[in-house]
Amino acid sequence: MKDIISLFFAYARTGLKTRFQYKLDSVISTFAVFFREAAGIIAMYLALLKFDTINNWNIDELLFLFSLIFITYGIFIVFFMALRDFSDWIKHGVFDRVMLRPRGLLTQLVLCGADWLAAFGHGTLGIILFIISANRVGIEWNFGMAVYYIVVVISGVLIQGAVFLFFSAISFYVVETNSLKEIFYWNMRKFAIYPLSIYNKFIQSILIFVVPFAFVNYFPAQFFLRKADMAAYPEWMMYISPIVGVGLYALAYAFWRFSLRYYKSAGN
Amino acid sequence: MSTYLQFAVIKFRNKMAYRFDYLLGILNTLLSFVVYWSIYKALYGGASEVDGVTFSMVTTNFIISLGLSSAFHKNEMFLQDKIKQGTIANELLKPVNFKLRMLFEDVGEGAFNVAFNFLPTVVIAAFFANLSAPSSILNVLLCLVSVVLGYIVLWQISFIVQSWAFWLFNVWGLITIKNVFVNILAGAYIPMWFMPEWLRNVIQFTPFDSIYFTPVQLYLGELQGWEILINFARQLLWIVILYVIGEFCWRRGIKKLVVQGG
């Protein structure tokens, strides 16, 4: 374990050094990611100056909801970037190199690549949103609440990690999975940012059962906020994010292990 | 002129080769639209109109502004890549105006996307989204003309930021920031009607509302008589102003350009 942690820091140090070689550029690019992600929020803020609430969510409650998706993504991308770009790893034969090293395959993949630019951009945005909203949405923060918040953040990271682990496993069979990711991750994420209840039943079902983004932000936020629109869903859904996270990740891991047998090198 | 038209045609044909990307592109545009459509459906909460703006006007606004912003998406690292790789030297030696060539290639790509990404999206959206019919055939034609002018405004803004690659190490960040400004202030993420008063007053003095909002207004028949002329004049004025700024950056940049090896 100690070995793994030191490995992570070694990778992080080189990664940060490479990324922040050009300081001004890195600062501008990080801010650009931050600003790009904030665009939808700014638009929502402006719209709510006119409309006040959306499905009874006011702007502070929305910011709290948004914070979860950005914080989880910020952490997720530190550990799962290699899986995000995994089809490229296979295509260019980089995965062969990983296989020759004396550590677990997934351990290496999780530790080695971090998209620091996205991590800082999304992460700071999430943290700022959390700081702005946490005390203005009527949550009585105590030890239990704080622990549960951390637990749902970890669950959110695991859920998104599981989705990418599935795609990586599929890359063993078909190599090119960018379109799958585009449809099932990036597009679904566009939907997931906003309250689930504004969508029609079909989109809601996808976000609950297929790519369970609803358990990354909507249901955990409902646990803290108890908005009226929760009445449309079974109450226990507010509590099961950790189970969904761990369960889905375990499932994805099993599928990955199984698929690994079918790996054929694309290199030469 | 026909030389440049060829650039547009070639780009148009190139785009046709990637069938799957193209289907995916329609899906992307459609889903972005569905997100905003759902948001405003919830905001309206069944009300037929807010401040005299009907829900179908909002829907139409989003399909035009969001749809076109998606269709007009292009590779904005083009100039930087040419500069970084030094291939810009070869481009400048060719007997064509590099800037015009770039414009026509982008127009070719944009035209392809409007025909095969934007229009299919509109057709699919029309099944569920209750779009406003155009107020007349004339309005559709006026709208089309202003879309072209709006595209040129958008293109010039992009070109200006791209040309900073002559001085900066990497313009990706600035391009991304520029796109956020354009998408919000041009009304792709929030209809112009619902912008706070002070912001609309500011936007009046910028080129942003002449990109998508003028076409939207023309399509809906919101502009009458003189107003139509004034809006076209504003689009043309911005094209001229931005052209002058772009040309200034470009000339200074070319003078400064040093290509290493090649």
Partner residues linked to A57 by β-bridges: A54
Which residue bears the tokens 């990307």?
A: B21
Instruction: Name the residue in chain A with its Cα closest to that of B175.
Output: A32
> Which residues on B lie below 8 Å from A47 (Cβ)?
39, 43, 190, 194
Phi, psi for residue B258 in degrees, rounded to 5? -125, 120
User: How many interface pairs between A and B have CB atoms less than 8 angstroms apart?
Assistant: 93
Instruction: Name the residue in chain B with its Cα closest to that of A191.
Output: B35
**Helix pair angle (B55-71, B119-128), 10° resolution:** 150
Q: Is A6 exposed, middle or buried (0-12, 13-18, 19+ CB in 10 A)?
A: exposed
Strand, helix or coil for residue A240: coil
Domain ranges of chain B: 2-256
Give the Cα separation of A197 and A127 in Å (integer). Answer: 24
pLDDT 10s digits, B222-242: 998 899 999 999 999 999 999
Q: If residue B49 lies in a helix (H) or strand (E), which one and from where to where?
A: strand B49-50
Of B228, B103, B117, B227, residue with least CA distance to B153 = B103
**Is the Cβ pair A47, B194 closer than 8 Å?**
yes
Predicted ipTM of the assembly: 0.90
What A257-263 contacts at long range (C-beta under 8 Å, 24+ apart), as own/partner pairs, is: A258/A169, A259/A169, A259/A170, A259/A172, A259/A173, A260/A105, A260/A169, A260/A172, A262/A172, A262/A173, A263/A90, A263/A95, A263/A172
Query: How many Å lie between the alpha carbon of B184 and the closest alpha carbon of chain A?
Result: 7
**Is the Cβ pair B196, A49 closer than 8 Å?**
yes
Per-residue pLDDT of chain A in tens (268 residues, 90 and over written 9): 788 888 888 888 888 888 778 888 889 999 999 999 999 999 999 999 999 999 999 999 999 999 999 999 999 999 988 888 888 888 888 888 888 887 888 888 888 878 888 899 999 999 999 999 998 998 889 999 999 999 999 999 999 999 999 998 998 888 778 888 888 899 999 999 999 999 999 999 999 999 999 999 999 999 999 999 999 999 999 999 999 999 999 999 999 999 988 887 765 5
